[in-house]
């Protein structure tokens, strides 16, 4: 009668091949890095500077005609992509035109944009410019710095928090899992060349938050079991903890994924990249909290004697009464 | 046993009710918005029957704050401008020169003759003919400096004076530069605000960002270039005596004179006295008008001191031309026909009606103290925003239904408790957003959807724990109690860490990203509240009524 994703009691062995899992993860991280190093990210104008113009027209989009219209202006690298989306009506033909940052201008000048718009209007009379965004090279450089800083700061603060609430081995495990997730997400973006803009940084930080959420729940159970079963082998204890929380891990991942998939399909193309990053991050984050964070914990070992200061250590808030 | 004090129950219910009441106006967005606008209009221009009727669309005793819609949802223009703070240094240095000249002239015996040397715009170089008098010269020039107040309280001066060979170099001191920059940016901010208010668009955001930047967001405006036309012009208006008129841009100008081009006559240049007779700062009013030939023009009026200067000058210089100069271009150079005593006049030029209207706005609002560079500009069309809202709504509803169904299928009755809590949760989230005047952006909608997905996490943790406890504990009441108790530390740890990332995102991000951080952060607060208080209350109330011997979670 009840929908049960996992049986009441499970005893999967998550660490039978822990070296293999850790190896796969390490390999994926290397691949992610390599892809990033070789291909680089398809940075949006937030990070690279330049202009994007989103056009809409009832006529079918002829990328070649657009290109021919803009080419005489000599604006350097111009990318034109047609956008398809199930939420568009039959007469909505949307294209995205990206113009590289022009050398001298702070932001692209109004004349340049006006010239492009005029050229396109001549080619397609009913074209509309639904959004025009332009970022100068000065700001885009700063945005990169801020983004890197934000992600590093998030990871660092997590490291400190977990260290305070648990032990350093837990903190290292959690952070390794976070870095794993962030690198894999960046890797996917560079491999598939999906546009990487400011919103994706927000998605990265959300992934950091979510993956952590998952990891902390497992660790919390590990801590509890460490007090309960003082003689149990660490490997068995970790296995037990993960099995006990497995049902919750899957439940939460599925409800979150359900919500995100709805947004991915129905939320329109503007935020699709952003939602894709989060969906990917949640899948990777769920995997990493079990196979990376816990495995590293097993590898590092952990202090077993939690009796001395169990006076609510790490559970200071445990007696908050509702 | 399961117990919650009565006062706590009342408090929980009151918090939920208050949150939902605050969220309610958002369900009738357009109606409340029109009503709010009408009320605001009534305060300014008094009540009319029509306005009263519009205002009556939403009862005045109900909360009426709405969630602000970000630019990406409402459409509008966004500009990030950098104030060229260095512009002001030049003016300061120019103003300094006569003062220095006069002071040094008094010391001619010791320092000899003085001559101004060409130099970068933010310093003055003065050559003295008797280098041996340098010490005295420096002393004199330093004496012109004014002490400035700094946080450190050290006695710093507004200028820095040093000798280099036979030259005296005067620059603004670092402390004075900082103070000047700050003043410049604040003035620029104020002028930008005034100009945008003059145009009268709704809810513009005009904020200082960092040391020398201004962020301007105006919903509902057609494009960023339209906005730039209003705020991009410095609009420094001066009235200068004309020395000569010619066609040579490189014409030689005496010291204290400058050559500037005409605005609408190609290749015409005027040599004018650099020191203006009177400036736009002394204007009290400017209105678009038409001249006697029916061409668009701008009427202006000076304040008392401006009127006196203008009157005196026109009386003494009948028959001579003078130039009306806007941002270093001569708009027109009429010949003074008669004494103009009243302090009002008219600027004519080849204006269109739109240009004369804009110029009047600019003159009324005042000149920017320095130029602006636009680092970032975005225009989002209102249709795109509306499409995003529609798509966001559909996605949120579908996500909601999917999660509700899934929870019900997994946990039965307890799932329904969690579902009620989830609905309250989203209500509270909107209530909080309205209360703090938060801005909803497209990523913010994503944040809400994410909250819908993740909010059940706390309940899932609790329910899974109750299931576990049911296997070992003594009876359902004890299992529920232990479930809540033991899940709490995991819930808090998990949510605090996510909350930390939301805070970092809020601090670092801007615009849409910040909108995401707000909904994510508030969503965490409300979901923890609903999980550990609201569902618990629901479960306890159900339990008290039914007293089941066994429960199934």
CA nearest B133: which of B111, B153, B157, B114? B111
The domain boundary residue, chosen from A111, A135, A159: A135
Give contacts of B388 with chain A, Cβ < 8 Å.
Answer: 268, 270-271
User: With 70 as the cut, is the pLDDT of residue B483 above it?
Assistant: yes
Cα gap B177→B183, rounded to integer Å: 10
CB-nearest partner of A158 from B4, B402, B500: B500
Q: Which residues contact A88 (CB under 8 A, 6 or more apart)?
A: A94
Which residue has tokens 């509306």?
A: B386
With CA atoms as reference, the chain A residue closest to B398 would be A262
DSSP letter (8 states) at residue B67: P
Give the residue from chain A lying closest to B76, CA to CA.
Answer: A131
3-state SS, residue B168: strand
Q: Any chain B CB within 8 A of the CB of A173?
A: no
A195 and A131 within one domain = no
**Three-class SS string for B447-492?**
HHHHHHHHHHHHHHHHHHHHHHHHHHCCCHHHHHHHHHHHHHHHHH
Report whether pLDDT(B121) > 50. yes
| Confidence band for A312, pLDDT divided at 50, 70 and 90 | very low
Are B391 and A268 in contact (CB < 8 Å)? Answer: yes
pLDDT at A310: 47
Count CB pairs under 8 A between chains A and B: 247
Task: Write out pLDDT tens, residues B256-282.
Answer: 788 888 887 778 888 888 888 888 888
Among the partner-chain residues A4, A107, A263, the one whose CB lies closest to the CB of B377 is A107
Query: A151 and A271: one domain?
Result: yes
Nearest CB to B406 within list A199, A217, A255: A255
Task: Please compute Rg for chain B using Cα positions.
Answer: 34
A112 and A220 in a single domain? The answer is: no
Q: Is A149 on the interface with B (CB under 8 A)?
A: yes
Mean pLDDT of chain B: 85
Residue A96 contacts B, CB cutoff 8 Å: no
Q: What's the whole-number average pLDDT of chain A?
A: 84
Residue ranges of E strands in B45-91: 68-69, 76-83
CA-to-CA distance for A246 and A8, rounded, in angstroms?
10
Among candidate residues A75, A110, A135, the one where a domain is terminated: A135
Q: Does residue A1 form part of some domain?
A: no
The CA distance from B553 to B538, in Å, is 14
Contact B411 A2 (CB under 8 A): yes
- Closest partner residue to B228 (CB to CB) among A87, A110, A257 is A110
User: Cα–Cα distance between B189 and A245 in angstroms, integer?
Assistant: 55
Q: Give the pLDDT score at A321.
A: 43
Q: Which domain holds residue A54?
A: 50-135
Q: Same domain, yes or no, for A180 and A123?
A: no
Q: How far is B363 from chain A (nearest CA, A)?
A: 23
Q: Report CB contact under 8 Å: A268, B377.
A: no
Which residues neighbour B552 within 8 Å (Cβ) at sequence distance 6 or greater? A2, B412, B413
A97 near B CB under 8 A: no
Q: A83 lies in a domain?
A: yes
A161, A248, A318 ranked by CB distance to B488: nearest: A318
Contacts with A201 from chain B: Cβ below 8 Å? 509, 513
Residues of A in contact with B3 (CB under 8 A): none
Whether residues A64 and A155 fall in one domain: no
Quickly count: other Cβ atoms within 10 Å of residue B262's Cβ: 18
Question: How do beta strands B296-302 and B283-290 pair?
Answer: antiparallel
Tell me: do A248 and A125 sit in the same domain.
Answer: no
Both structure tokens of B67: 């969630």
Query: Cα(B365)–Cα(B56) distance, rounded to whole angstroms?
Result: 35
Whole-angstrom distance, CA of residue B427 vs CA of residue B433: 10
Q: Is A160 inside any structural domain? A: yes
For residue A119, the domain's CATH number is 3.30.70.3220
Residue A5 lies in a domain: no
Q: Tokens standing for A144?
A: 């990169």
* Same structural domain, A224 and A130: no
Which tokens belong to A2? 């009840």
Is residue A8 in some structural domain? no
Q: Is the pLDDT of residue A314 over 50?
A: no
State the residue for tokens 């939420």. Answer: A87
A160 at the B interface (CB within 8 A)? Answer: no
Co-location of A83 and A205 in the same domain: no
Residue among B400, B501, B512 minimizing CB distance to A154? B501
- Give the strand order in the sheet containing A93-100: A78-83, A93-100, A50-57, A128-135, B372-380, B76-83, B213-219, B205-209
Q: Contact at 8 Å (CB) between B66 and B433?
A: no
Cα(B341)–Cα(B310) distance, integer angstroms: 8
- pLDDT tens by residue, B382-407: 888 888 888 888 988 999 899 999 99
User: What is the chain A residue with the closest CA to B226?
Assistant: A110
Closest approach of chain A CAs to the CA of B372, in angstroms?
11
Query: Is residue A182 in a domain?
Result: yes
pLDDT value of position A319: 42
Cα gap B296→B349, rounded to integer Å: 8
Please, are residues B366 and B279 in contact by the beta-carbon 8 Å criterion?
A: no
The strand pairing partners of A113, in sequence order, are none
**Residue A255 pLDDT more than 60?**
yes
Report residue B423's pLDDT band, with 50, 70 and 90 as the boundaries.
Answer: very high
A297 lies in the same domain as A198:
yes
In this predicted structure, the answer to whether residue B36 has a pLDDT above a threshold of 80 is yes
A4 within a domain of the structure (yes/no): no
Contact A268/B at CB under 8 A: yes
pLDDT confidence of residue A317: 47
Dump pLDDT digits (tens) for B530-547.
988 999 999 999 988 888
Element (H, E) at B164: strand B159-164
Looking at the structure of chain A, the number of domains it has is 2
Q: Is A117 an 8 Å CB contact of chain B?
A: no
Give the residue-averaged pLDDT of A98-122. 77
Nearest chain B Cα distance for residue A90, angstroms:
15
The partner residues of B76 in beta bridges, in order of sequence, read B219, B380
Looking at A83, A111, A135, which one is the last position of a domain? Answer: A135
CB contact under 8 Å between A255 and B394, yes or no, is no
Tokens at B133, concatenated = 């008098």
Contact B399 A259 (CB under 8 A): yes
A250 with A149, same domain: the answer is: yes
Say if residue A68 is in the same domain as residue A216: no
Q: Is the pLDDT of residue B473 over 70?
A: no
Higher pLDDT, B222 or A31: A31
Please state, in angstroms and rounded to a whole number, the distance separating the CA atoms of residues B15 and B428. Answer: 9
CATH of the domain at A193: 1.20.1640.10
DSSP states of A84-138: --TTS-TT-EEEEEEEEPPSS-SS--HHHHHHHHHHHHHHSTT-EEEEEEEE-HH
pLDDT tens string B62-71: 888 888 888 8
> Token pair of B204, please?
């513009």
Q: Is residue A11 part of a domain?
A: no
**Residue A214, exposed/middle/buried by CB under 10 A (0-12, 13-18, 19+)?**
buried
Sheet containing B283-290: order of strands: B283-290, B296-302, B344-348
Residue B57 pLDDT > 50, yes or no? yes
Q: What is the pLDDT of residue A83?
A: 86
Among candidates A150, A217, A275 on the partner chain, residue whose Cβ is nearest the Cβ of B505:
A150
CB proximity list for B67: less than 8 A, separation 6 or greater: B26, B430, B433, B434, B438, B439, B440
**Beta strand pairing status for B329-332 and B322-326?**
antiparallel
Residues of chain B with C-beta less than 8 angstroms from the C-beta of A3: 406, 409-410
φ and ψ at B170, to 5 degrees?
-115, 125
Q: Which helix (H) or strand (E) holds A276?
A: helix A272-288
Same domain, A207 and A121: no
The DSSP bridge partners found for residue A129 are: A55
Angle at alpha carbon of residue B49, lines to B43 and B51, rounded to 5°? 45
Check CB contact of A235 with chain B, cutoff 8 Å: no
Q: Do A3 and B406 touch (CB under 8 A)?
A: yes
């Amino acid at each position: 009668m009840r929908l049960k994703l996992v049986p009441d009691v499970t005893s999967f062995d998550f660490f039978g091949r822990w070296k293999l899992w850790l190896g796969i993860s390490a390999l994926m991280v290397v691949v992610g890095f390599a892809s990033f190093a070789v291909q680089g990210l398809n940075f949006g104008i937030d990070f690279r500077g330049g202009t994007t113009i989103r056009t809409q027209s009832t006529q079918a989009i002829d990328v070649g005609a657009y290109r021919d219209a803009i080419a005489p202006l000599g604006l350097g690298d111009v990318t034109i992509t047609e956008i398809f989306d199930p939420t568009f009506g039959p007469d909505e033909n949307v294209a995205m035109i990206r113009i590289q940052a022009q050398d001298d201008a702070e932001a692209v000048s109004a004349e340049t944009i006006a010239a492009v718009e005029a050229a396109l209007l001549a080619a397609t009379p009913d074209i509309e410019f639904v959004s025009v965004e332009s970022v100068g090279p000065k700001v885009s450089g700063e945005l990169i710095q801020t983004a890197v800083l934000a992600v590093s700061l998030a990871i660092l603060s997590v490291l400190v928090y977990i260290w305070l609430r648990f032990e350093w081995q837990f903190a290292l495990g959690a952070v390794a899992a976070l870095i794993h997730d962030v690198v894999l997400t960046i890797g996917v973006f560079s491999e598939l060349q999906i546009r990487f803009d400011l919103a994706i940084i927000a998605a990265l930080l959300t992934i950091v938050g979510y993956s952590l959420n998952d990891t902390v729940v497992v660790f919390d159970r590990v801590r509890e079991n460490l007090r309960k079963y003082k003689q149990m082998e660490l490997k068995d204890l970790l296995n037990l903890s993960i099995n006990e929380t497995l049902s919750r891990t899957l439940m939460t991942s599925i409800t979150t994924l359900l919500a995100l998939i709805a947004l991915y399909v129905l939320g329109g193309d503007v935020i699709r990249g952003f939602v894709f990053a989060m969906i990917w991050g949640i899948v990777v984050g769920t995997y990493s909290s079990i196979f990376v964070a816990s495995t590293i914990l097993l590898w590092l070992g952990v202090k077993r004697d939690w009796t001395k200061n169990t006076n609510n250590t790490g559970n200071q808030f445990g007696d908050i009464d509702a | 046993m399961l117990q919650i004090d009565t006062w706590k129950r009342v408090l929980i219910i009151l918090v939920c009710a208050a949150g939902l009441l605050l969220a309610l106006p958002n369900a009738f967005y357009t109606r409340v918005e029109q009503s709010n606008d009408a009320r605001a209009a009534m305060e300014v221009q008094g009540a009319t029957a029509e306005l009263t009727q519009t205002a009556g669309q939403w009862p005045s005793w109900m909360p009426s704050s709405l969630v602000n819609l970000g630019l990406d949802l409402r459409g509008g223009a966004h500009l990030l401008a950098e104030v060229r703070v260095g512009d002001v240094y030049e003016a300061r240095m120019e103003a300094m020169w006569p003062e220095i000249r006069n002071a040094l002239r008094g010391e001619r015996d010791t320092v000899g003759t003085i001559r101004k040397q060409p130099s970068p715009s933010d310093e003055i170089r003065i050559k003295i003919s008797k280098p041996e008098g340098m010490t005295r010269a420096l002393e004199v020039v330093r004496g012109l400096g004014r002490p400035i107040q700094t946080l450190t309280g050290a006695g710093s001066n507004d200028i820095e004076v040093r000798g280099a060979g036979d030259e005296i170099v005067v620059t603004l001191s670092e402390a004075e530069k900082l103070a000047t920059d700050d003043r410049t940016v604040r003035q620029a901010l104020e002028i930008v605000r005034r100009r945008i208010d003059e145009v009268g668009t709704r809810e513009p955001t005009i904020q200082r960002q960092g040391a020398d930047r201004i962020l301007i967001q105006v919903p509902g405006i057609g494009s960023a270039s339209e906005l730039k036309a209003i705020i991009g012009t410095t609009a420094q208006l001066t009235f200068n005596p004309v020395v000569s008129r010619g066609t040579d841009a490189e014409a030689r100008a005496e010291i204290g004179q400058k050559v500037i081009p005409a605005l609408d006559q190609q290749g015409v240049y005027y040599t004018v006295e650099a020191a203006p007779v009177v400036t736009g700062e002394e204007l009290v009013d400017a209105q678009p008008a038409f001249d006697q030939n029916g061409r668009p023009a701008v009427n202006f009026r000076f304040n008392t001191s401006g009127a006196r200067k203008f009157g005196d000058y026109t009386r003494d210089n009948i028959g001579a031309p003078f130039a009306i100069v806007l941002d270093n271009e001569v708009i027109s150079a009429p010949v003074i026909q008669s004494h103009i005593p009243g302090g009002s006049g008219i600027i004519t030029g080849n204006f269109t009606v739109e240009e004369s209207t804009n110029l009047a706005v600019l003159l009324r609002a005042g000149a920017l103290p320095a130029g602006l560079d636009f680092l970032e500009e975005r225009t989002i069309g209102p249709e795109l925003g509306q499409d995003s809202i529609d798509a966001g709504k559909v996605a949120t509803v579908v996500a909601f239904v999917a999660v509700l169904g899934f929870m019900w299928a997994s946990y039965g009755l307890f799932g329904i408790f969690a579902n009620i809590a989830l609905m309250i949760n989203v209500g509270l989230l909107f209530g909080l957003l309205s209360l703090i005047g938060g801005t909803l952006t497209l990523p913010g909608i994503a944040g809400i959807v994410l909250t819908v997905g993740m909010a059940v996490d706390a309940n899932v943790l609790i329910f899974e724990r109750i299931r576990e406890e049911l296997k070992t504990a003594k009876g359902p009441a004890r299992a529920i109690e232990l479930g809540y108790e033991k899940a709490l530390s995991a819930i808090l740890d998990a949510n605090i860490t996510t909350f930390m990332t939301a805070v970092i995102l809020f601090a670092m991000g801007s615009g849409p990203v910040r909108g995401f951080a707000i909904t994510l952060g508030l969503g965490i607060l409300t979901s923890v509240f609903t999980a550990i208080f609201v569902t618990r209350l629901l479960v306890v109330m159900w339990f008290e009524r039914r007293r089941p011997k066994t429960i199934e979670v």
